Structure 1
Amino acid sequence: MRREGLFLVLLLACAGCGSAHAQKTLSLADALALAKKQNPEILIARKQVEAARGGVVEARSGYLPAVVSSGLLRKRERQEASRLRDDDYNASLRVVQNVYTAGEIKGRLAIARLTEEKRSLESSAVEQRVEMDLRVAYYDLLLNRAKIEVREQAVGVMREELKAEEERFAAGTVGELNVRRAEVSLANEQPELFEAQTRMQNSYLRINELCGIPSSTRSRAPTFQPAGRLEFQPRRPDLTECLARAAALRPEIKSRQLDVAIEDEQLIVDRSELRPRVE
């Protein structure tokens, strides 16, 4: 009996630990940090920055000497005897240094550096967009949780009212119309509760998507609980100031300006094809 009791206690403790682990609290700051580490779009943008850095290294190699090797091997088949060799081979090894390329190497290096800067700006834009979407989704989750609490209280009140009306009807103090009116009120309030629960589930799915957390298709239980409550803080932004800050700081605008600079450098590279080269 002692062993069975000890086993039951351990089983309940493990179940409690698993439930606590599954229902861990996730604050907004923790969600933002998790999204920066696991969001697929952010990871792809960072890989593109690394690829652009590799392009800079490749473009810079044009200033360095290159080793070019070539070889040839031929085998002859003869019907008659001959003093010539059956095999003919040739091998060459050259070191080539670009002396004059009409600005091609310089232009390609400039394009690579501008592309690296552009990818970095695009990565910043992706991080800012994901952060904004995550903040909106997190606040929606807090709002939907508060709505569920309100709707649950309303449904509870409607049920108590229906129960009271049924008791009064049984006692003969009210008519059947009062009972039907209470049933209709309860039936009208329940869909609002179901809608709030559905919106809350969608908020969980959206946050999991932004944070890179895999969502379970079998269990609809949330993997975390949000921390804090939704509080309204009134803000009155100035439109002119917002436009000025956006024009000066938004990475998308700077990225489009770099596109123009890249096209200018590409024009130099294209023109270099019409000029002679010295190696």
Structure 2
Amino acid sequence: MVSRKTLAGAVAVVGLLVSAQGANALSIKEALAATYQNNPTLNASRAQLRATDEGVPQALAGWRPTITASGRYGYSWENQRGTYFEHANYAASISVTQPLFRGFRTVNSTRQAESIVRAQREDLRVAEQNALFQAATSYMDVIRDTALVSLRRSDLKFQEEQVRASKDRFNVGEGTRTDVSQAESGRARAQSALNTSLANLNTSRAIFRQVIGIDPKNLSARTNVTSLLPKTVSSAISIGQEEHPSIQSSLFMVDAAQFAVKTAQGVLLPSADLLGEASLTDSNATGNLGPESRSATIYGRVTIPIYQSGSEYSAVRQAKEDLGRTEILVDVSRDSIRAQAISSWGQLNASIASITAAEAQVAAARLALEGVIEEQRVGQRTTLDVLDTQSDLVDARVTLVTAQRDRVVAAYQVLSSIGRLDYDNLGLSGARYDPTEHYRLVRDKWIGLRTPDGR
């Protein structure tokens, strides 16, 4: 017969989701900190922001002079009425062009680039939230699948004892071959379910390694994430509308589009430049010193565009259409974040309700199984009754384990939907990435091929 000790051990499996795994457990907060430092997708987003930073010094270059130098050297031969001449001639020049007025294009393109940088910083915050949410999800998936593997192993042990008990009853004439076959079928089902759970666990562990950058060992599901959540769904919606980086990014892109329109319009305005040039030419004939000349000029130039094939007007219209598109995308972002907040809040409440129901279901199914086993002993129940009741208990435990996982994941999803799943709000350890550091280093650079980190 199946012992009560076996049943008690099976029930304890569910506790894997709510108990610490020892003093050396890797907490979910530590896993999120490792993700913040190691996640390759997140690091790629940071590199993208650094590349976007370079748009500002490129725009500021409109204020700076352009300096070019040129030179030539060569020979020429000439025959004049039988007299042969050979000339070695060379010339060198240097020119400087200093923009004075470009139809406000430099001002507006700089502001456009700055707005794009701000938008990209918000996009980086989105990438951080996505990476941290993926990490939290993969962390809980490993814990869930580990618990399910333990549950399936406990179920397999139960089924093996059921097979042994059925054979013992058959050998003493108290059971039938059908009872044995039913028990063996239950054992095969439990073995198949265990194999599936092991495969799912291996997949979850691989995703954990991909997202977090370390192997999952001694995980603990203890977390204080619920203390970071707003009290009501209306508060979550309000916070998300005010703080979510997706909305902030779309607003900055509207600013960038407005400056893009002004930049395009600047092509229609006059421009003024200050130009300077110095040159040296010399020609040496064979046996004689040829003429040498030096010159230097400086002058101002005003250019008034009249008609430039019409492309400039098309560019202005195009920029205005792009501005309208970015304004629409603000509303799209607001609606999307609102939907995410409501959805994640609903999933959180549903998972909490599911845990309560599943706990009651587990308790009832466990008592039912104990009763059916006792009734089987006195011949009032069949082996099939025991297997069916055991299947109900296993299903209830699977539901409970899954609901406990879903509750934690939903809490992190709520935090992500309001824009607060980040380094500061989570209180993560390790160095915090400063998105403005690279910007400050490159904004006013006039020259240099190396990046601030030495590449």
TM-score bracket, normalised by the shorter chain, equals 0.7 to 0.9
- Distance in 2, matches of 1:198 and 1:230, equals 25
Among candidates 247, 253, 272, match of residue 253 of structure 1: 247
Q: Percentage identity across aligned positions?
A: 20
1:79, distance to aligned residue in structure 2 (A):
7.3
Displacement, 1:200? 1.3
Q: Which residue is equivalent to 1:273?
A: 267
AA aligned to 1:31 is A
SS at match of 1:68: strand
Pick from 206, 210, 220 the counterpart of residue 228 of structure 1. 220
Q: In the aligned structure 2, how far is the partner of 1:156 from the partner of 1:233?
A: 37
Matched, 1:41 2:41: yes
Q: CA–CA distance in 1 between the matches of 2:170 and 2:230?
A: 55
Counterpart residue number, 2:195:
194
TM-score computed with the length of structure 2 as normaliser = 0.50
Amino acid at match of 2:130: R
Of the two structures, which has the highest relative contact order with CA contacts closer than 8 Å and spacing of 6 or more? 1
- Counterpart in 1 of 2:57? 57
Is the contact between residue 137 and residue 203 of structure 1 (CA under 8 Å) also seen in structure 2?
Answer: yes
Per-residue CA deviations over 1:189-221 (Å, capped at 9, x if unaligned) read 2222222222211111111111245xxxxxxxx
Residues 171-186 of structure 1: matches in 2 within 5 Å?
A: 171-186=172-187
Amino acid at match of 1:165: S
Partner Cα separation in structure 2 for residue 269 and residue 84 of structure 1: 54
Larger fraction in strand: 2
Aligned AA (2:220): G
Q: Cα offset for 1:173?
A: 2.5
Aligned equivalents of 2:76 and 2:126: distance in 1? 64
> Structure 1 stretch 264-273 or stretch 74-83: which is displaced more?
74-83
Match for residue 27 of structure 1? Answer: 27
Partner residue in 2 for 1:114: 115
**Which residue matches 2:238?**
244
- Counterpart Cα distance in 1 of 2:150 and 2:34: 28
Alignment map for 1:6-155 (pairs within 5 Å)? 26-76=26-76, 82-83=84-85, 85-87=87-89, 89-155=90-156
CA contact (8 A) 2:209 2:216 kept: no
Measured against aligned partners, the alpha-carbon deviations of 1:66-105 in whole angstroms (never above 9, x if no partner) come to 3222334454466786436244x33221232221111111
Secondary structure of the equivalent of 2:68?
strand
Distance in 2, Cα, partners of 1:76 & 1:239: 87
Cα distance in 2, alignment partners of residues 85 and 180 from structure 1:
111
Match for 1:56: what amino acid?
A: V
The structure number with the bigger radius of gyration is: 2
Task: State the shift of 1:59 in Å.
Answer: 2.2
Aligned partners of 2:52 and 2:116 also within 8 Å: yes
Bigger shift: residues 261-270 or 52-61: 52-61
Say which SS state the counterpart of residue 173 (structure 1) adopts: coil
In structure 2, the CA distance between the partners of 1:78 and 1:224, relative to structure 1 (3 Å rule), is farther
Which letter maps to 1:100?
A: F
1:234-267 superposed Cα distances (whole Å, 9 cap, x missing partner): 9896332222211111111111122221111111
- Give the unaligned 5+ runs of structure 1: 1-23, 214-222
Distance 1:237 1:189 in 2: 42
Aligned with 2:268: secondary structure?
coil
Match of 1:29, SS state, is: helix
Q: Tell me the CA shift for residue 44 of structure 1.
A: 1.1
Q: Which amino acid aligns with 1:228?
A: S
SS in 1 for 2:271: coil
Alpha-carbon shift at residue 122 of structure 1 (Å): 0.8
Letter in 2 for 1:245: I
Which one is further off, 89-98 or 223-232? 223-232
Corresponding letter in the other structure for 2:254: V
Q: Distance in 2 between matches of 1:95 and 1:149?
A: 77
| Mapped contact 2:73–2:88 kept (Cα < 8 A) | no
Inter-CA distance 229–51: structure 2 relative to 1 (3 Å threshold): closer
Deviations 1:106-153, CA, capped at 9 Å, x for gaps: 112112211211111111110001111111111121111111111111
* Structure 1 Cα separation of the partners of residues 112 and 179 of structure 2: 79
